[in-house]
Amino acid sequence: WAERQSVNAAASLEHIAHWLEREGWIRNFDLVAEGDLAERRGREFSDSEIYKFLEALAWEIGRTGDAGLESRFRAIVDRVARAQDADGYLNTKFGHAGQEPRWSDLVWGHELYCVGHLLQAAVARARTRPDADDGLVAIARRAADNICAAFGPDGIDGLCGHPCIETALVEFGRVTGDDRYLAQAALFVERRGHGRLGDVEWGREYFQDESPVRQATVLRGHAVRANYLAAGAVDVAAETDDPVLMKAVRAQWRNAVARRTYVTGGQGSRHQDEAFGADWVLPPDRAYSETCAGVGSVMLAWRLLLASGDAGYADLIERTLYNVVSTSPATDGRRFFYANTLHRRVLGASPDVERPSIRASAAQRAPWFEVSCCPTNVARTLASLAAYVATTDDEGLQIHQYVTGTIAHGPADGPERRVTVTTAYPDAGEIRVRIDSDDDRPWTLSVRVPAWAGQGATLTAGGETRPVAPGYATERRTWRGGDEVVLNLPVAPRFTYPDGRIDAVRGCVAVERGPLVLAVESVDVPGGEDLDELRVDTSQPPTLADGRVTVRCRRLEPHDHDWPYNGSEAAPAATATADLLEVPLIAYHDWANRGPSTMRVWLPTI
Amino acid sequence: WAERQSVNAAASLEHIAHWLEREGWIRNFDLVAEGDLAERRGREFSDSEIYKFLEALAWEIGRTGDAGLESRFRAIVDRVARAQDADGYLNTKFGHAGQEPRWSDLVWGHELYCVGHLLQAAVARARTRPDADDGLVAIARRAADNICAAFGPDGIDGLCGHPCIETALVEFGRVTGDDRYLAQAALFVERRGHGRLGDVEWGREYFQDESPVRQATVLRGHAVRANYLAAGAVDVAAETDDPVLMKAVRAQWRNAVARRTYVTGGQGSRHQDEAFGADWVLPPDRAYSETCAGVGSVMLAWRLLLASGDAGYADLIERTLYNVVSTSPATDGRRFFYANTLHRRVLGASPDVERPSIRASAAQRAPWFEVSCCPTNVARTLASLAAYVATTDDEGLQIHQYVTGTIAHGPADGPERRVTVTTAYPDAGEIRVRIDSDDDRPWTLSVRVPAWAGQGATLTAGGETRPVAPGYATERRTWRGGDEVVLNLPVAPRFTYPDGRIDAVRGCVAVERGPLVLAVESVDVPGGEDLDELRVDTSQPPTLADGRVTVRCRRLEPHDHDWPYNGSEAAPAATATADLLEVPLIAYHDWANRGPSTMRVWLPTI
C-alpha cells in the first residue's frame, strides 16, 4: 500500500489535476464567478470531481504535509469559493443566468450529490487539518445550510437521484457539532423509497426508490447509489440510535454479500444500468464491478464495522481494497478501469491517451472518462487508507488491516500508546505487532483473522503459539515496550469453489492467495490468447515457487462445428490434450499492465 | 401454425390496430396532412409500425381474402398517402414546419428505415394482390424515388443508422422491375463500415459501421440491425452476382450461428445495446434474444437458403420460428415478449395492460411497448409463414418446413402440380407428402431432414423405407396422383449438451423435442419457484408419456453462508436430496402463459 499511496500522490493527483483543467471542469467555477456560463463544460455532476479531488488532496496533505499539494488545494478552494451564491447555493450547472433553475431536476441533476462530495472534502480537511484557514469548511457549512433551508421539513419534499448527501451531512454534523445536518440526513433517508423520483427506464429500484430503506432486504439497483445510500443510513442509524434501521441495513449488506458480490468483492453485474443483478447472477465476463461501487462498498462496510465490531465487514473491506480499488489504477497511476471485469475474452485496443473514454467501453485502462468518477474516487480512497487500518475503544486497540507502520492510540485520560506493525503481507503471512510504550493498565490488543484463513491462523504472544479462528484474536495484558504479538496467516495459494447456484461459474475454480484473487493472463500462457481452452486439474493444490503461483492445466482441442448444441456430451465438450501445462497466475489487480491480453479469474476444471 | 395464424388474424391484428390508434401513431400521418405537427406522438420510428402493420394485413388478406381487413388496409393506405410530400418524401417526424429538416439525423432519425418498411409492405401487397388499386405500391415508388434522388451517387454520402432500406429496395426492385433501386441498395451496403455514422457510446459496431460488410467475419453489434443489414447484403449479392459479398455474409452467418446464437435460435446476449456478445457469451438469464432479432434472423436465413439451397439455413428458420417468433406472443395474441430470456429467476409482476411497457423491462408479456417493434414484426411474420414452407426450381419441389396444407407448383411451361402435406409435426414425427396430380415428366421431391434428427430419420417411398441423413432427402420420379412419400423424424425428447466454451451453461443440459426447445416452469414443479435447486439425472433419457415430457431430478438443499466462495467444493455446492422427482417440461414458447413463474431452459446436471 505504501507503493500505491506513493504512486497516487506522485502521479495520480497530478494526472487528475491535469484532466480537470483540460476538460474545463474547474474552470466552470470561474465561469460562475464571471457570470457567463455559456461555455460551461462537462456533465451535470462534474463539480463532484473537483470536490473528490479536494478530498484526496486533504487526505494526502494530512499524510505527508506536502506543501505543493497544500497550495494547489488552497487555490482550488479559492476558485470554488468565488462560485458560491450569497445564500450558500453552490453548483455550476444550475441556477444561474441561462441555466435551468435550482433543484429543477432532482432525478438526474445531481445538485445534492455534488454538495455531498463538497461536505466530504470539508470533513477530510477538518479531520486532517482542523485549524486550517483555507475556508473550505465554511463554504461547506454555507452549502449545507442552504440545503437544510431548501429541503427541510417545510421545504421541498424531495431527494436526490444519486445518494451521497445523506452520509455527507451526518459526517459534517460530526465535525461541526451541528445537529441540524443529522436531522436533514435522516429526512433524506426516510423520503426515499416512496416513488418520489418517478419512473425511469430501469425502474425505481435504480434509485432505491421502490422500497423504503428500513423495509428493503437487499442492496439493489445502481450499485454506487445503493452503497452510498446504505452508508448514509448506517450513519443516521448510529447517530440517532435507531436499531431497526441499523438492522435493516445489516441484513441488506449480508444478503448482498452472500448472493450478489463477486469473489473480488466487486458489486454490480449489469452493464445496462450499472446495477446489482438478481441473486446469483454474477457473470464474470459481463461483470461490471464498477470501481466506484467498490469505493462505496468500503465506505459502507467501514461504517458497519464501526457500528458492530464484526470482522466480516473488515474482511470485505480487505477483499475490496486488494481486488477492486487496487485493480482500477494502472501501475503508473495514470490510467484507470471504470469497470472491473473478471473475464476478458478478446484482446482489446488501448484507449487513446489524449481522449476521454466512454465509461466502461474501454478494454484497457483509460486516462479519463466522459463520466470520470473513478480516478478521483480511487485517489481519495488510497490517500485515506490509513483511516481504515485500526480502531480503538475503551478496551484497547483493534487492528483490521495489515500494513507496516506505527499506530498511536490510548484513552483520553491516559498516556499515548504506540504499536508498530511489521509485515510483508499479503506476500507473506507473518504480521508482527510490537508494543512501543510501557503501560500501567491492561488493555486488549485485537487482531483480525480473516475468514479466508479458515483454521490455518496462529497467534504467538508471550512465547506461546495457539491456533486462532476467524474473527478477532485478542490478547489482554499490561503491555511493556518490546512485547510482541505475531499473527501468522496461511497465505499459501488455494482453490476456491463457487456456490452451486452461481450459474455463470459452475464447474470452475478461482485461485486465491491470502486476500488476493489471482488470475490467468494470456501474456503468461504458452500457446497464446485463447484462455477459454484451459482446464485446471484440481487434484493438486496450486504451487508456489519463487513467488510465482502456478496451476496444472490441460488444453482443450475444441471441435469446431456448425451448431454448438449437440446430443452427446463428448462431441461439443471437445477432448483435452494429454500434456499438462504449468500455467502461472498473477494478482488480479495487476492484470492488463502489459499490453492487450485476455484474462480469466474463474477457470473451468477438467 | 394454423392456430397461431388464426390467433394472429383474429386477435393480434385487432390488438395492434387498437394500440396504433390509441398511441396516436397513425394519427401522426393525419397531422402531416393537416399541417400541424405540434401534437405528434411516438418515437422517431413510429411510422414503421404502421408499415409493418400494413405488411401484416397484406399477407393476411393474401391468405384469407378477409374483406374487413381489406377495408382496414385501404383506409390506412389513404391516410398514409395524404402525408406524402409532393416529391415523395414521407415521414411524420422530420421535414415539416416546426420539425428538424429531412435527413438531419441519419444516425438516430430512422427516416430511411421507415421507408424500408413502407417498401416491404408494398412488396407484400404486390405479391399477394398484384393488381390492387389501393395505391400503396405507387406511394412506395415515389418514396423510393425520393431516396434515390437524395442519396444517389451524386447525393448525400450517407446511410441510415438502422439498416432495413437495403433489403427493401432490392425487393421493391424485384416487384417493380426497376434496377435503380438495386443500385441504390448496393450503394447503401457499400457505404457502411467506414465510420460515416460517427462514434456512439456503444461503439461503431452497434451500427455495423466499424467494418465494411464484405470484410466483416461475423454478425456483431445490435442484433436486429445486423440481421437486417446482412439480409440486404445477400439480396444485393444475389442480384448483382457478387460471390465475394455473398461468401462474406455466409461466413458471418456461419460464425454467428456457431458461436453467438442461443439454443432457441435467439440472437443478442446484451441488454445494454441489444447486441450480439463476443463469441461464447450466451448467458441464459440475461439473454436478450430480442423478438425482432429472431424475425431478422429468419429473413436472413431465408435469403441465404434461396441463394444456396443449404438445409442449415432452413434448420435455423425452423428453430427460430418455433422458439423465438412463437415465444413472443401470448396464446391470446394480445401480449408480447420484447426480449426472450432463457432463464427467469424471480417471479415478475404482470405488466399493466393499460400502459405501454418499457421495452425489455417487463417480466411477463406486455400488451404494448414504448418501442413497440415486436408486435407488428411478429404479426407480419406469422401472416407470411406460408412463404417460408417450400421452394421450386427446375428440378422440382423442395419442402423446408412441415405444416399440413397443399402446395401448388410446377414449371412455367408445364401444368400445375399439387402436393398435400399431412402431419401433426412437431408433436409427431410423421410427415406424409401425397402427390395430387399426374405428371408425364419426372421431377424431384426434396424434403428437409433437420440436423437435430441425427441418424434417426427415415424416408418411405414406393413401399421402401431407408434411413436419410440431415440435409435434403430426395425422390425423383414421374409422379402419379396418390403417390406418397413419408418422412419420419425422431421426435422423442432428448438431452442437448452445450459447447464447452459457453461458460454460462457449463454443466447443464437442455431438453429438446424435435425442433422444440423445452423448459421447466415453476408452476409445474412440486416445491415451488426455486428452480435453481434442481439437478437433472441424465443417466436416463427424458421420458415421454401421455404427451408430457419429464426428466428425473434431485433437489439441492443449499447451505446458506455468509460468503458464497469457499475452499472446498462440498460446502458451497450443497447436498442433493435422495428423493428423485419427475419434473415436467413444456415447450419453451408456451411458458409464462399461466401467471408469474420462474423458468429454466438449461438445467444443471447432478
3-class DSSP string for A233-261 = HHHHHHHHCCHHHHHHHHHHHHHHHHHCE
User: Are the beta carbons of B566 and A465 closer than 8 angstroms?
Assistant: no
Question: In this structure, what DSSP letter does residue A110 have?
Answer: -
User: Are the beta carbons of B391 and B379 closer than 8 angstroms?
Assistant: no
Q: For chain B, percent helix, then strand, then coil, each to nearest 5?
A: 40, 20, 45
**Candidates B517, B563, B575, B606, partner chain A, best to mutate (most A CBs within 10 A):** B563
User: Are the beta carbons of B572 and B562 closer than 8 angstroms?
Assistant: no
Measure Cα distances from B475 to B306, B309, B479 in Å. 20, 16, 10
Residue B468's identity, in one-letter code, is V
Q: What is the pLDDT of residues A101-121, one digit of tens each?
A: 999 999 999 999 999 999 999
- Which among B278, B454, B572 has CB closest to A498? B572
Query: What burial letters (b/e) apply to B318-327, b meaning 16+ CB within 10 Å?
Result: bbbbbbbbbb
Chain A positions in Cβ-Cβ contact with residue B346 (cut-off 8 Å)? 278-279
The distance of Cα B10 from the centroid of its chain, to the nearest Å, equals 21
User: Are the beta carbons of A575 and A479 closer than 8 angstroms?
Assistant: no
The answer to whether the CB atoms of A562 and B451 lie below 8 A apart is yes
Maximum Cα interatomic distance, chain A, rounded to a whole number of Å: 79
Alpha carbon of B76: minimum distance to chain A alpha carbons (Å): 32
In chain B, which residue's Cα lies nearest the Cα of A565? Answer: B498
Chain A positions in Cβ-Cβ contact with residue B315 (cut-off 8 Å)? 563
Chain B positions in Cβ-Cβ contact with residue A553 (cut-off 8 Å)? none
DSSP code per residue over A552-567: EEEEEEPPP-S-SEES
Quote the pLDDT of residue A578: 66
The answer to whether the CB atoms of B279 and A564 lie below 8 A apart is no
The answer to whether the CB atoms of A258 and B563 lie below 8 A apart is yes
Quote the pLDDT of residue A68: 95
- Which among B454, B499, B503 has CB closest to A567? B454
Please, how many CA atoms are within 13 Å of residue B94, restricted to the half-sphere of its CB?
19
Quote the pLDDT of residue B361: 66
Alpha carbon of A335: minimum distance to chain B alpha carbons (Å): 19
What's the residue count for chain B? 606
Chain B positions in Cβ-Cβ contact with residue A452 (cut-off 8 Å)? 567
User: Are the beta carbons of A404 and A431 closer than 8 angstroms?
Assistant: no
Residue with cell 439480396: B235
| Strand partners of residue B343 | B600
Q: Which three cell numbers stand for residue A602?
A: 474463474
Alpha carbon of A418: minimum distance to chain B alpha carbons (Å): 34
Q: Taking chain B (606 residues) in consecutive chunks of 10 residues, what is each chunk's mean pLDDT?
A: 91 95 96 94 96 97 95 97 97 96 97 98 96 95 98 97 98 97 98 92 91 97 98 98 98 97 97 93 94 98 97 98 97 94 89 77 83 94 96 95 93 87 96 94 96 96 96 96 97 94 95 97 86 92 94 85 81 58 96 94 94
Which residues of chain A have a pLDDT value below 70?
359-362, 569-578
In chain B, which residue's Cα lies nearest the Cα of A255? Answer: B562
**At a CB cut-off of 8 Å and minimum separation 6, what does B478 contact?**
B439, B440, B441, B442
User: Are the beta carbons of B31 and B92 closer than 8 angstroms?
Assistant: yes
Quote the pLDDT of residue A572: 39
Contact pairs from chain A to chain B, CB under 8 Å: 183
The answer to whether the CB atoms of A358 and B201 lie below 8 A apart is yes
Strand A543-545 relative to strand A471-477: parallel, antiparallel, unpaired?
Answer: unpaired
Q: How far apart are the first and last CA of chain A?
A: 36
Q: What is the pLDDT of residues A395-420, one digit of tens each?
A: 999 999 999 999 998 887 888 899 99
Quote the pLDDT of residue B415: 84
Stated as kind and residue range, the H or E segment containing B509 is strand B508-513
- Provide the 10 A C-beta neighbour count for residue A33: 14
Measure Cα distances from B249 to B226, B231, B234 in Å. 11, 9, 7
Q: Which of B490, B471, B474 is nearest to B425 (CA)?
A: B490
The answer to whether the CB atoms of A567 and B495 lie below 8 A apart is yes
In chain B, which residue's Cα lies nearest the Cα of A260? Answer: B564
User: Are the beta carbons of B322 and B381 closer than 8 angstroms?
Assistant: no
> The complex's ipTM?
0.90
The answer to whether the CB atoms of B503 and A501 lie below 8 A apart is no
Chain B positions in Cβ-Cβ contact with residue A270 (cut-off 8 Å)? 271, 286
Question: In this structure, what DSSP letter does residue A349 have?
Answer: P
Q: Could you give the CA distance from residue A196 to residue A216 in angstroms, rounded to a whole number?
A: 16
In chain A, which residue's Cα lies nearest the Cα of B534? Answer: A501
Q: Could you give the CA distance from residue A503 to residue B76 in angstroms, rounded to a whole number?
A: 49
Strand A443-449 relative to strand A396-399: parallel, antiparallel, unpaired?
Answer: parallel
Quick one: what percent of chain A has pLDDT higher than 90?
86
**At a CB cut-off of 8 Å and minimum separation 6, what does B297 contact?**
B227, B265, B267, B316, B320, B324
Q: Could you give the CA distance from residue B273 to residue B252 in angstroms, rounded to a whole number?
A: 20
Q: Give the three-state DSSP class for A469.
A: coil
- Which among B312, B500, B563 has CB closest to A572? B500
The answer to whether the CB atoms of A503 and B504 lie below 8 A apart is yes
- Which among B285, B562, B574 has CB closest to A258? B562
The distance of Cα B422 from the centroid of its chain, to the nearest Å, equals 25
Stated as kind and residue range, the H or E segment containing B304 is helix B291-308
User: Are the beta carbons of A209 and A193 closer than 8 angstroms?
Assistant: yes
- Which among B496, B500, B503 has CB closest to A574? B500
Cis peptide before A426 (omega within 30 of 0): yes
Chain A positions in Cβ-Cβ contact with residue B201 (cut-off 8 Å)? 358-359, 361
Question: In this structure, what DSSP letter does residue A362 have?
Answer: -
Strand A343-344 relative to strand A599-600: parallel, antiparallel, unpaired?
Answer: antiparallel
Chain A positions in Cβ-Cβ contact with residue B279 (cut-off 8 Å)? 345-346
The answer to whether the CB atoms of A277 and B257 lie below 8 A apart is no
The answer to whether the CB atoms of B604 and A561 lie below 8 A apart is no
Quote the pLDDT of residue A151: 98
Phi-psi region at A232: left, alpha or beta (left = phi > 0; alpha = psi -120 to 50): alpha
The distance of Cα A70 from the centroid of its chain, to the nearest Å, equals 25
Cis peptide before B450 (omega within 30 of 0): no
Alpha carbon of A590: minimum distance to chain B alpha carbons (Å): 21
Angle at which helix A373-383 crosses helix A46-64, to 10 degrees, equals 20
The answer to whether the CB atoms of B507 and A507 lie below 8 A apart is yes
Q: How far apart are the first and last CA of chain B?
A: 36
Q: What is the pLDDT of residues B387-419, one digit of tens each?
A: 999 999 999 999 999 999 999 988 878 888 999
3-state SS, one letter per residue, for A439-467: CCCCEEEEEEECHHHCCCEEEEECCEEEE
Q: Which of A575, A606, A599 is nearest to A287 (CA)?
A: A599
User: Are the beta carbons of B440 and B417 closer than 8 angstroms?
Assistant: no
Quote the pLDDT of residue A371: 87
Considering only CA atoms, give the Rg of chain A.
Answer: 25
Angle at which helix B243-259 crosses helix B311-320, to 10 degrees, equals 50
User: Taking the C-alpha atoms of A501, A506, A511 and A512 in order, what is their torsion angle to the nearest 10 degrees?
Assistant: -10
The answer to whether the CB atoms of B258 and A510 lie below 8 A apart is no
Angle at which helix B27-34 crosses helix B46-64, to 10 degrees, equals 120
Q: Could you give the CA distance from residue B472 to residue B450 in angstroms, rounded to a whole number?
A: 9
Alpha carbon of B90: minimum distance to chain A alpha carbons (Å): 30
Chain B positions in Cβ-Cβ contact with residue A558 (cut-off 8 Å)? 499-501
The answer to whether the CB atoms of A503 and B312 lie below 8 A apart is no
3-state SS, one letter per residue, for A279-335: CCCCCCCCCCCCHHHHHHHHHHHHHHHHHHCCHHHHHHHHHHHHHHHCCCECCCCCC
Query: What burial letters (b/e) apply to B89-102, b meaning 16+ CB within 10 Å?
Result: bbbbbbbbeeeeeb
**Candidates B352, B565, B568, partner chain A, best to mutate (most A CBs within 10 A):** B565
Angle formed at CA B267 by CA B262 and CA B271, multiple of 5 degrees: 105
Quote the pLDDT of residue B573: 44
Q: Could you give the CA distance from residue A236 to residue A230 in angstroms, rounded to a whole number?
A: 10
In chain A, which residue's Cα lies nearest the Cα of B347? Answer: A278
